[in-house]
Structure 1
Amino acid sequence: MVRVQVWVGGRLFQAERALLEQHCGFFRGLFRSGMREARAAEVRLGALSPEGFGTALRVLRGERPALADDELLPAVECAAFLQAPALARFLEHSLTAANCGLLCDAAAAFGLRDVLHSAALLVLDAGGRPAELALPEARAYVAALRPSSYVAVTTHTPAPGFLEDASRTLCYLDEQEDAWRTLAALPLEASTLLAGVATLANKLYIVGGVRGASKEVVELGFCYDPQDGSWRRFPSPHQPRYDTTLVGFDGGLYALGGEHRRTPMSSVERYDPAAGRWSFVADLPQPATGVPSAQACGRLFACLWRPADVTTIVEYVAPSDAWLPAAEMRHPQSYGHCMVAHRDSLYVVRNGPSDDFLHCAIDCLNLATGQWTELPGQFVNTKGALFTAVVRGDVVYTVSRLATMLYAIEDGTWRLLRERVGFPRPGSLQTFLLRLPPDILGPVASPLPEL
């Protein structure tokens, strides 16, 4: 292994030449330039801080350091100067509601476009305002974007064209007016019953779903773009599947497990939107349906349950195409219904205690320490409110027909923040976040008439 001595601000670092050449455009250009410096065993970088370069080396070597606020600016500067995409992605994954304003200003100052975009979106979702930012470039960028809206869809099966169903719609929560409004009608051929639903790059994708008592799989996929309100079809996975979990992760869609002909599956497929095709990746460790999944710190996790009262958290590691065990917990007669992530923690919502489905228990896994803690108290499961949840900034959104509940995440606990109107339609819900055009104002989603 060829090593290079790198002097930064009077501090000496020993670095692997191949690592620097692979991950940093600056060093790649230097080492391939043919100049005398390209063959030197020593490089001097006077313009950077040693703290930022030290962070860069740790990240490029595969570490995930927790950065204090005063370490963020040197890391942003280093990512820009060294042209290090891996460090820039790490900074995106390090965003929190507390540091997004600082990273937004820093990314605007040093021209890190992807970090700027992610930070600006979180500024909006965390309730921040453009005027609170220091740099005019950052303020202008945030002002041109839209915050996320909470969107829900209930269960529908393909409908004949001659049957008009006003409830067959996507709906979003108008928080100012405390009302659910209609966003768009579903395509007649689409099914959301036991379908995989996910967002990627601010587009909604629906995969699978069933029709009829025989659970015939709907083999059409549908993509909704809120910018122009359009639907388009896209290919289905190679393996027909329903009750699959669809996840938007790392630029692709992942269909996790599911069922076909009443047989659970462990297979996983990835859809590449740019290429327009699916491919198989590593199987889940066991067959599973309706797999709870969440993303934290740029990592993808799934929650699996074994009949021996064991809940297992596994992580998908894309570079090695493998599912690796991350943690497990044991609770009698209890399994996870959904899982959400906030910063470096995963929250598993499960039935409890024992077989009491009127209440939910929530367990928190801290990824940095690997420790489990159980949130104090019991959360009332108002007819499925906690069976679906999403995180926006530091707030968890859950919904049922009775109420839309917002919980603030504070020091690893959930505190009821406010209560909004319930979803006006019956059926199991799937929820997600979308950024909607500024001029959209759909009609209020009226409840179905009482029979």
Structure 2
Amino acid sequence: MFGHSSESEDGSNCGGKDGELYKPCPPSDLVSAKLTIVVGGTLFSEEKMLLVQSSDYFQAMYRSGMKECHQDKIHLQCLQARGFLIVLAVLHGEVPSLDEDDIVEAIECAAFLQVTPLTKHLINLIDAENCLLMYHTAAIFGLMDLYHAAALFIRDIYGELDAEVHKTLPSELISHIESLTPSVFVAVGAHVTCGVDESVHNASRTVCYLDETRNNWKVLTDLPLEASTSMAGVTVLDNKLYIIGGVHGVHKQVVESCFCYHVENNSWTRIASPAQLRYNLTLVGVDSCLYAIGGEYERTVMSSVEIYNIKIGRWTFAAHLPRPATGVACTKTMGRMFVCLWRPMETTEIYEYISTKDKWQLVTTLIRHQSYGHSVVGHRDNLYIIRNGPSDDFLRCLMDCYDLTSGQWSSLPGHFGNSKGSLFTAVVRGDSVFTLNRNMTQEYIVDRKSWKPRRQMKGFPRSGSLWTFLLRLPDSHMLQL
């Protein structure tokens, strides 16, 4: 499928001249050793260890026993120098923006060299402008993770791209998109269980999804009897719904059991509990891990953070927050996770969790007069900080935007209606943000410097706190939509 080769200076390919085998490169030879890579006539010098750790191609080469693993210079044929430059930029922690030509060359390199960090970066860059190019090119080069991610993105905004899809994509790629199920807007309200005698089906104990075609909320599932969403951590990761912590009963005791909802078979299972029980926490899912952030236990506010690896089913402690906090505003975008720590009355600090270093790094500080209460929404390379207006206008939100690329703040014009907290439950789908309260579901189209109302739908018929998220329902549900 790929049709590339890697050649040494004398023109022999990675198989070695006449299949000649040599001893694998000793690990000691990789430490601090440099390799010169010739791509399209351009020479690059890079640490061998970084290449081996980040690329399956280089890892295989240095384990192969071929003579190339003992050379200080190799040639990569059929790749473009610009694409390899993008590879190196990503491996060094940069987040380069890419035009159409860059995208094609980067996908080619990611597929041939099997560079997972670059593939993740490309997935993070998918948007309405480039998704068709990403999808088609990933199909050509067999970069399957990007292929699947782009297909799902297109499916979610299919109505907006329908004409362009049929104009630009081959029929087999269109058929694959149409075979997928789009994500739907899902909500669950806060509910405290009062014991096992409680009715199994109770309207306040249901998870519901929005049928956008019929403009109506429908029941997806009931919460388990022992589960509580009051002051709990609630999030979705890999199309599964997780509920961690919270309080239950008339005396608001901390919940010890944690639950996972499997949408494909409409079932709930228990998962391990964090080492530190907690409520009023924030729960977010990133890269197959759940992060339980801050919260309280026995009325003590905590700064501790625990990570649950869903693949191995185990919790571990991570670096503490810079200070104790409850109900931390948190978002993820571009494969990165951010929290807002508020200092009454006028200061918000934004921290990013750097998983490779297990530390919270200060990104920026926002100071606004009479700023209190906030949430944060990540969209592309922008963070939108949503805060209450001045004290005489409590129910209308103000919004500030932080550009992660330029490092600049800007204020969005106007106010945003926030009756009963709609903007504090924002969910991003494509270039839209869905917000929700009891009165209405509001969809905004997000431009870099503005949120433009697109349509209003039925509100969620529950009072109190809400959690909203996206799920992909199985065909049995989608046939009802």
- TM (normalized to structure 1)? 0.94
Other structure's SS at 2:303 match: strand
Partner of 1:219: 256
Indicate whether 1:3 and 2:34 are aligned: yes
* Contact 1:292 1:336 (8 Å CA) reproduced: no
In the TM superposition, what whole-angstrom CA distance separates every residue of 1:180-200 from its partner, at most 9, and x where no partner exists?
A: 111111111110111100011
Partner of 1:233: 270
Quote how far apart the aligned CAs of 1:35 are.
2.7
Which one of 103, 114, 127 corresponds to residue 72 of structure 1? 103
Indicate whether 1:63 and 2:94 are aligned: yes
In the TM superposition, what whole-angstrom CA distance separates every residue of 1:344-365 from its partner, at most 9, and x where no partner exists?
A: 0011111112463211111111
Partner of 2:462: 425
Quote how far apart the aligned CAs of 1:7 are.
1.3
Indicate whether 1:95 and 2:139 are aligned: no
Partner of 2:16: none
Q: Distance in 2 between matches of 1:443 and 1:137?
A: 26
Indicate whether 1:242 and 2:273 are aligned: no
Which one of 298, 301, 311 corresponds to residue 348 of structure 2? 311
In the TM superposition, what whole-angstrom CA distance separates every residue of 1:73-104 from its partner, at most 9, and x where no partner exists?
A: 11011011111111111111122222111111
* Contact 2:195 2:249 (8 Å CA) reproduced: no
* Contact 1:151 1:434 (8 Å CA) reproduced: yes
Larger Rg: 2
Pick which of 387-396 and 122-131 moved more.
122-131
Pick which of 309-318 and 426-435 moved more.
426-435
Partner of 1:408: 445
Quote how far apart the aligned CAs of 1:249 are.
0.7
Query: Judging changes above 3 Å, is the alpha-carbon distance between structure 1 residues 375 and 389 closer, same or farther for their aligned structure 2 residues?
Result: same
Other structure's SS at 1:231 match: strand
Q: Distance in 1 between matches of 2:350 and 2:392?
A: 21
Other structure's SS at 1:27 match: helix
In the TM superposition, what whole-angstrom CA distance separates every residue of 1:55-78 from its partner, at most 9, and x where no partner exists?
A: 111111221111112210110110
Quote how far apart the aligned CAs of 1:285 are.
0.5
Indicate whether 1:191 and 2:221 are aligned: no
* Contact 1:334 1:355 (8 Å CA) reproduced: no
Indicate whether 1:158 and 2:193 are aligned: yes
Q: Distance in 2 between matches of 1:83 and 1:274?
A: 22
Task: Structure 2: state its 5+ residue gaps.
Answer: 1-31
Cα root mean square deviation, aligned: 1.8
Partner of 2:421: 384
Q: Distance in 2 between matches of 1:192 and 1:132?
A: 46
Query: Judging changes above 3 Å, is the alpha-carbon distance between structure 1 residues 246 and 49 closer, same or farther for their aligned structure 2 residues?
Result: same
Which one of 379, 384, 393 corresponds to residue 356 of structure 1? 393
In the TM superposition, what whole-angstrom CA distance separates every residue of 1:17-46 from its partner, at most 9, and x where no partner exists?
A: 222222112222223333332222221112
Indicate whether 1:375 and 2:417 are aligned: no
Which one of 145, 156, 161 corresponds to residue 114 of structure 1? 145
Query: Judging changes above 3 Å, is the alpha-carbon distance between structure 1 residues 184 and 414 closer, same or farther for their aligned structure 2 residues?
Result: same
Quote how far apart the aligned CAs of 1:171 are.
0.6
Pick which of 304-313 and 433-442 moved more.
433-442
Quote how far apart the aligned CAs of 1:163 are.
3.7
Partner of 1:257: 294
Query: Judging changes above 3 Å, is the alpha-carbon distance between structure 1 residues 308 and 385 closer, same or farther for their aligned structure 2 residues?
Result: closer
Query: Judging changes above 3 Å, is the alpha-carbon distance between structure 1 residues 418 and 48 closer, same or farther for their aligned structure 2 residues?
Result: same
Quote how far apart the aligned CAs of 1:304 are.
0.6
The code of the aligned residue for 1:419 comes to Q
Query: Judging changes above 3 Å, is the alpha-carbon distance between structure 1 residues 295 and 133 closer, same or farther for their aligned structure 2 residues?
Result: farther
Quote how far apart the aligned CAs of 1:133 are.
5.2
Indicate whether 1:439 and 2:470 are aligned: no
Partner of 1:49: 80
Q: Distance in 1 between matches of 2:197 and 2:253?
A: 21
Which one of 149, 166, 170 corresponds to residue 184 of structure 2? 149
* Contact 1:184 1:229 (8 Å CA) reproduced: yes
* Contact 2:39 2:80 (8 Å CA) reproduced: yes
Q: Distance in 1 between matches of 2:296 and 2:362?
A: 23
The code of the aligned residue for 2:203 comes to A
Partner of 1:447: none
Q: Distance in 1 between matches of 2:240 and 2:302?
A: 27
The code of the aligned residue for 1:114 comes to D
Quote how far apart the aligned CAs of 1:138 are.
3.2
* Contact 1:293 1:301 (8 Å CA) reproduced: yes
* Contact 1:397 1:405 (8 Å CA) reproduced: yes
Q: Distance in 2 between matches of 1:388 and 1:409?
A: 16
* Contact 1:158 1:191 (8 Å CA) reproduced: yes
The code of the aligned residue for 2:421 comes to G
**Sequence identity percentage:** 48
Quote how far apart the aligned CAs of 1:251 are.
1.0
Other structure's SS at 2:352 match: strand
Pick which of 70-79 and 271-280 moved more.
271-280
The code of the aligned residue for 2:86 comes to T
Indicate whether 1:15 and 2:52 are aligned: no
Other structure's SS at 2:295 match: strand
Query: Judging changes above 3 Å, is the alpha-carbon distance between structure 1 residues 26 and 421 closer, same or farther for their aligned structure 2 residues?
Result: same
Q: Distance in 1 between matches of 2:370 and 2:188?
A: 30
* Contact 1:375 1:413 (8 Å CA) reproduced: yes
Partner of 1:39: 70
Partner of 2:25: none
Partner of 1:29: 60
Alignment length (residue pairs): 444
Q: Distance in 2 between matches of 1:184 and 1:14?
A: 56
Other structure's SS at 2:148 match: helix
Partner of 1:176: 213
Query: Judging changes above 3 Å, is the alpha-carbon distance between structure 1 residues 39 and 162 closer, same or farther for their aligned structure 2 residues?
Result: closer
Pick which of 361-370 and 120-129 moved more.
120-129
Query: Judging changes above 3 Å, is the alpha-carbon distance between structure 1 residues 8 and 443 closer, same or farther for their aligned structure 2 residues?
Result: closer
Q: Distance in 2 between matches of 1:296 and 1:166?
A: 33
* Contact 2:332 2:378 (8 Å CA) reproduced: yes
Q: Distance in 1 between matches of 2:418 and 2:240?
A: 30
Partner of 1:332: 369
The code of the aligned residue for 1:34 comes to G
Q: Distance in 2 between matches of 1:393 and 1:333?
A: 32
